Structure 1
């Protein structure tokens, strides 16, 4: 028990050092608004509301459903993706489980801050990349049995 306590304390000190190095404010609150978004608030008063689509597209995990086009990795068809749950991972972030069954990305509080701080630029670049490759934010239409 004492060993676990020392490990937790060491992790907290490491997290504090990381926060001071990257100038990310300390997390104040995290709330899941399933299935549409998450809200993240930091101690300095900065708040971000991040949509499920945005978080899915910018998942920090490698994903087999990513389409590689040249050197670009592109995820399309996620406009209506939903968040099923958010599971805490230590003191540094959460694992988000999406309804397309993607669940390998661990979002750190620093990564949420980065995404929120750059949300409009990232989303604009994402839409430009989709257009450049003739892809859409909307899911592809599935063929019905009468089309087969």
Structure 2
């Protein structure tokens, strides 16, 4: 568990970015798409080893709401209806520090599976 706590969570006006400021002065701008596709929810991570889901089509997803969960996390609701991810302070910190690498791995998974970040056209 991270020893650093957020002092501010701020959603951008376009709902595409969550800026997290930690008590040690570190500030991270976390894209909504990255948080959605790397959500810690069972829907995305699965219930056990090898069950992780690669979620395509979320390039334009936005943040609908942030709900505090105890004193250790926040539940982030996205405008595509996904709202079961509980983002602990340490996970938000990890996304800030390692998000670029994690997202690059996600993009590689998409390519490997022939999937796209773009939503399907109806």
CA 23–62 in structure 1, closer or farther in 2 if over 3 Å, else same = closer
Q: What is residue 4 of structure 2 aligned with on the other side? A: 25
How does the TM-score come out when normalised to structure 2? 0.87
Bigger relative contact order (CA 8 A; separation at least 6): 2
Q: CA shift at 1:72, angstroms?
A: 5.1
- Find the residue that maps to 1:132 and give its secondary structure: helix
Distance in 1 between the 2:23 and 2:69 partners? 20
Greater fraction of residues in helix = 1
Q: What is residue 32 of structure 2 aligned with on the other side? A: 52
Q: Do structure 1's residue 136 and structure 2's residue 116 form an aligned pair? A: yes
The match for 1:98 among 53, 78, 82 is 78
Q: Once the two structures are superposed, what CA deviation does each residue of 1:115-142 show, in whole Å capped at 9, x if it has no partner?
A: 1110110111111110111100001121
The match for 1:88 among 51, 60, 68 is 68
Q: What is residue 13 of structure 1 aligned with on the other side? A: none
Q: CA shift at 1:26, angstroms?
A: 2.5
Q: CA shift at 1:23, angstroms?
A: 4.5
- Find the residue that maps to 1:84 and give its secondary structure: strand
Distance in 2 between the 1:24 and 1:80 partners? 32
- Find the residue that maps to 1:115 and give its secondary structure: helix
Flag structure 2 segments of 5+ consecutive residues without an equivalent: none
Tell me the C-alpha RMSD between the 2 structures.
1.9
The match for 2:91 among 96, 100, 111 is 111
Work out the number of aligned pairs and report it: 117
Flag structure 1 segments of 5+ consecutive residues without an equivalent: 1-21, 143-148
CA 122–46 in structure 1, closer or farther in 2 if over 3 Å, else same = same
Distance in 1 between the 2:17 and 2:71 partners? 21
Q: Given that residues 24 and 113 in structure 1 are in contact (C-alpha distance below 8 angstroms), is that contact kept between their aligned partners in structure 2?
A: no
Q: Given that residues 2 and 89 in structure 2 are in contact (C-alpha distance below 8 angstroms), is that contact kept between their aligned partners in structure 1?
A: no
